[in-house]
């Protein structure tokens, strides 16, 4: 079998070629670049280059630009999972950039123009004139937003809709470069889809570090593995959850002897019980699960029906929308 060893060392934009007949089973891609090195306003795709056989960066069309169709790519963290090879964080090779005539995710190709962005990042916020957010090509907020004014410069994780989510760090170049917020966004998206997907995602137990990245060891649905902290991609063999301490990334000092923390242990157990009850046609359980942060700890504000309290103060309030707890990101708590 003949293999083609491909090494991309150029950054010039390449036009997507049509009518490719290359057999990808005959191709081995030398993926030696970090997907986070993709230039601004491009998306990493593991099928971007060489007729869909190799990864690269795709430059899509933005609002009001001429287009031919809508893209199937997404900003989802699962874009980083690839069977072509593991991601090399310290790579120096420049990733290939492929030009596409498709609209960026969230935009619609209407009358040969990209339009109808559902995001509002590019719309000026008259209530906060001192800060202009950084926007992605589809008009959404970038995952990392930094504020340098004042004596406490910080960077925060944001959803695509512009909502502050879990994850923050100091606004220094070293910390900004490491902060990707992909874990925080993944967990936030899973929580948004819980009602739509029923109990499909309620038992997932991803753990995020304080800056919104993935923790180096992840356990989900009975299996554990070492993970790339920026993308969440497995970088080790996968073991049964009972053998998680055998993984090379396990550290007893920082991780302790139990993967699940108190909060996500309770929430996960309740989710599994509800899933089994629903599967077997049992009566629904009305017990409310605790609200957990993506690192497995308790969220600052806990609510059960119309009653809420601050976790640290055990302070109850009849109106959950008027309760401000330290660490409540929804209401601006620090």
Distance (Å, whole) CA 200 – CA 243: 25
Contact 201, 192 (CB under 8 A): no
Q: Are residues 236 and 295 in the same domain?
A: yes
Q: Are residues 290 and 321 in the same domain?
A: no
Establish if 59 belongs to a structural domain. yes
Q: In what order do the strands lie in the sheet with 315-317?
A: 301-304, 307-310, 315-317
Task: Report which of residues 281 and 61 the model is more confident about.
Answer: 61
Q: Are residues 225 and 316 in the same domain?
A: no
**Average of per-residue pLDDT across 136-150:** 83
Among residues of the chain, what percentage have pLDDT more than 90? 20
Chosen domain end from 115, 141, 165: 115
Establish if 334 belongs to a structural domain. yes
Establish if 137 belongs to a structural domain. no
Mean pLDDT of the chain: 76
User: Whole-prediction pTM value?
Assistant: 0.73
- For the stretch 293-302, pLDDT in tens is 899 888 888 8
| Residue 211 binned pLDDT confidence (cut-offs 50, 70, 90) | very high
Establish if 240 belongs to a structural domain. yes
Task: Report which of residues 44 and 88 the model is more confident about.
Answer: 44
**Average of per-residue pLDDT across 213-224:** 92
**Average of per-residue pLDDT across 220-227:** 90
Q: Are residues 50 and 110 in the same domain?
A: yes
Establish if 156 belongs to a structural domain. no
Establish if 163 belongs to a structural domain. no
- The boundaries of the domain holding residue 242 are 196-301
Q: How many domains does the chain have?
A: 3
CA-based radius of gyration for the chain: 22
Task: Report which of residues 41 and 194 the model is more confident about.
Answer: 41
Q: Are residues 269 and 321 in the same domain?
A: no
- Upper half-sphere CA count for residue 1 (Cβ side, 13 Å): 8
Q: Are residues 202 and 293 in the same domain?
A: yes
Q: Are residues 217 and 285 in the same domain?
A: yes
Contact 58, 34 (CB under 8 A): no
Q: Indicate if the pLDDT at residue 168 is higher than 80.
A: yes
| Residue 70 binned pLDDT confidence (cut-offs 50, 70, 90) | confident
C-alpha dist (Å) from residue 31 to 48, 60, 74, 182, 220: 12, 21, 21, 21, 27
Q: Are residues 243 and 204 in the same domain?
A: yes
Q: Are residues 275 and 307 in the same domain?
A: no
Distance (Å, whole) CA 181 – CA 165: 9
Q: Are residues 106 and 9 in the same domain?
A: yes
Q: What pLDDT was estimated at residue 248?
A: 95
Class of residue 87 by CB neighbours under 10 A (exposed 0-12, middle 13-18, buried 19+): buried
Q: Range with the lowest mean pLDDT among 80-84, 93-97, 191-195?
A: 80-84
For the chain, give the number of residues.
Answer: 334
Report CA 221 to chain centroid distance, whole Å. 19
Q: Are residues 317 and 284 in the same domain?
A: no
Establish if 181 belongs to a structural domain. no
Q: What pLDDT was estimated at residue 72?
A: 81
Q: Are residues 260 and 321 in the same domain?
A: no
Establish if 148 belongs to a structural domain. no
């Amino acid at each position: 079998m003949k293999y083609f060893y491909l090494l991309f060392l150029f950054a010039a934009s390449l036009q997507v070629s049509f009518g490719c007949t290359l057999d990808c089973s005959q191709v081995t891609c030398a993926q030696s670049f970090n997907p986070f090195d993709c230039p601004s306003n491009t998306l990493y795709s593991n099928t971007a280059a060489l007729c869909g056989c190799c990864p690269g960066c795709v430059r899509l069309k933005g609002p009001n630009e001429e287009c031919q169709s809508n893209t199937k790519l997404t900003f989802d963290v699962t874009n980083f999972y690839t069977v072509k090879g593991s991601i090399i964080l310290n790579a120096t090779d420049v990733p290939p950039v492929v030009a596409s005539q498709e609209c960026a995710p969230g935009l619609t190709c209407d009358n040969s123009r990209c339009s109808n962005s559902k995001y509002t990042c590019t719309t000026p916020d008259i209530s906060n004139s001192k800060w202009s957010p950084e926007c992605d090509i589809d008009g959404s907020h970038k995952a990392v937003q930094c504020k340098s004014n004042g004596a406490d410069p910080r960077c925060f994780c944001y959803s695509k809709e512009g909502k502050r989510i879990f994850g923050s760090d100091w606004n220094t170049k070293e910390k900004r470069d490491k902060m990707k917020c992909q874990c925080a966004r993944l967990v936030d998206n899973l929580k948004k889809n819980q009602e739509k997907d029923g109990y499909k995602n309620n038992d997932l137990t991803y753990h995020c570090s304080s800056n919104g990245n993935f923790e180096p060891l992840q356990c989900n649905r009975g299996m554990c593995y070492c993970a790339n902290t920026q993308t969440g991609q497995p970088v080790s063999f996968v073991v049964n959850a009972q053998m998680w301490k055998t993984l090379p990334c396990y550290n007893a000092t920082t991780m302790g002897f139990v993967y699940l923390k108190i909060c996500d242990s309770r929430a996960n157990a309740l989710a599994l019980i509800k899933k089994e009850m629903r599967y077997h046609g049992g009566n629904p359980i009305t017990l409310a699960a605790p609200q957990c942060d993506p690192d497995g700890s308790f969220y600052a504000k806990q609510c059960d029906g119309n009653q809420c309290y601050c976790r640290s103060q055990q302070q109850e309030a009849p109106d959950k929308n008027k309760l401000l707890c330290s660490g409540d990101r929804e209401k601006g708590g620090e």
